[in-house]
Amino acid sequence: MGIQEELRKLPSVDRLLQHEAVAALVERWGHELTVEAAREVLDAVREAVREGDPCPATDVLARRVGERLAAYLRPTLRPAINATGVIIHTNLGRAPLSVEARAAMDAVALGYSNLEYDLEAGSRGSRYVHAEELLCRLTGADAALVVNNNAAAVLLILMALARDREVILSRGQLVEIGGGFRIPDVMRQSGARLVEVGTTNRTYVGDYESAITEGTVALMRVHRSNFRLMGFVHEPELSDMVALADERGLLVLDDLGSGTLLDTRPYGLAHEPTIQESVTAGASLVSCSGDKLLGGPQAGIILGRADLIAHLKRFPLTRALRVDKTTLAGLQATLRHYLLGEATEKVPVWRMIGQSQDVLEARAHNWIAELSQRDVPASVVAGQSTVGGGSLPGETLSTHLVALKVDSPEDTAGRLRAGEPPVIARIEDGRLLLDPRTVLPEQEMTLWELVARATG
């Protein structure tokens, strides 16, 4: 049968709308949206027929209309199961939030709140007060400001305090982090003049001192985030930079990148500079992220001198970078965990970092047993998890992995990603691996079922 004969089998849009299944779709989704889906389906089929495909039956066309309508309304941002072993996975939304943080965000989202209303005075208030007291109490800073991410925090600081002035920075800290965020580019965008000192691997206090001119406003330190220098290296302590800055009437700006309130060394990891250490050392302003090692919602946190924070709050750019009520509520709830000394039990990032080998091994063997009941062959193998999120580069945590015995790891990984919710695994040395460390306990049963479907 020829192409023209096949094309004549295609129903019109009106006729397709009369099909019982499509009529039901009209009742559910509305006439306009269903018509749009029907037209797109018929256009796609018409092209396929011209390429030599047969015309599908009307029942098939009706089903495709329903599938297209479902695709219209399927969220592109969806929950996923992170089985990669990367705890702070930038591509998977960074830090998962605690139960309390989620509840706090939900509570203020449901109705009105006192976001910018002073309940005691009965008049307009400021959104900036809501996390400030907790941040100051936890870090010892005089004042604090929350913006929408750390990149914004750095840009705001430089624009408000260093425009048309010199900022001195070590060549070993001219970093680029994810998304092409380059410190030299940010300097140019802010209007600050970058003065590079030292070499890639060695910079001394004397290098900063020699570069100071009448146009200098600040010395800056930038966390390298996603790499580290090893071997013949040197850089001054922050306290030494502060001493020089105080002597010459300059600011010290410390961009910590991820930022942490807890010491990482008890977990077998290298030392990650804490926010408290920077404040204690006397940095004029310290900036960090709220959604990495802190374990809260996406935010940029600025802490330091009260006069500088007050200036930043008044700076026009701050309004464009401010966070909404749900972010502040989630951040407050996360900070309360630290104040109560319960962060290692309540904040998922720290719970994952602190998960013991015994627990990980027991979980991995339990997964094997559950998967076996679903006819999925797998084995437990030793491996490594990473912190991720630009934190602790090169540092790993020992873990116990579940290796799925499949013919094609790539094909199976693709089917896992196509699940609902999608499962993100990792392929290493030709094996498809699942790391229990980054899978929340309440996700386990769903994971087992999705793995069974993807391998069946």
The pLDDT tens digits for 280-316 are 999 999 999 999 999 999 999 999 999 999 999 999 9
pLDDT at residue 178 in the model: 64
pLDDT at residue 100 in the model: 98
Are residue 193 and residue 229 in the same domain, yes or no?
yes
pLDDT at residue 8 in the model: 87
Q: Residues with Cβ < 8 Å from 208, sequence gap 6 or more? A: 168, 197, 219, 236, 241, 244
Q: Which domain holds residue 305?
A: 98-346
Are residue 176 and residue 280 in the same domain, yes or no?
yes
Question: Omega into 421 within 30° of 0, i.e. cis?
Answer: yes
pLDDT at residue 179 in the model: 62
Are residue 184 and residue 325 in the same domain, yes or no?
yes
433: domain CATH number?
A: 3.90.1150.180
Are residue 186 and residue 245 in the same domain, yes or no?
yes
pLDDT at residue 186 in the model: 85
196: domain CATH number?
A: 3.40.640.10
Burial class (CB in 10 A: 0-12, 13-18, 19+), 269: middle
pLDDT at residue 201 in the model: 84
Q: Among 331, 346, 361, where does a domain finish? A: 346
pLDDT at residue 236 in the model: 87
pLDDT at residue 1 in the model: 55
Are residue 273 and residue 331 in the same domain, yes or no?
yes
Q: Among 346, 364, 392, where does a domain finish? A: 346
pLDDT at residue 229 in the model: 67
Are residue 277 and residue 426 in the same domain, yes or no?
no
Number of domains in the chain: 3
Query: What tokens does 429 get?
Result: 């040395």
Amino acid letter, 234: H
pLDDT at residue 270 in the model: 87
Q: Among 319, 346, 373, where does a domain finish? A: 346
Which residue ranges in the chain fall short of pLDDT 70?
Answer: 1, 177-180, 226-231
Are residue 7 and residue 62 in the same domain, yes or no?
yes
Are residue 334 and residue 361 in the same domain, yes or no?
no
Are residue 336 and residue 200 in the same domain, yes or no?
yes
Residue with tokens 């001198």: 305
Give this prediction's pTM: 0.89
pLDDT at residue 228 in the model: 67
pLDDT at residue 5 in the model: 86
pLDDT in tens, 38-90: 999 999 999 998 988 898 999 999 999 999 999 888 888 999 999 999 999 98
Are residue 163 and residue 247 in the same domain, yes or no?
yes
Residue with tokens 């009437």: 249
Are residue 382 and residue 341 in the same domain, yes or no?
no
Are residue 374 and residue 433 in the same domain, yes or no?
yes
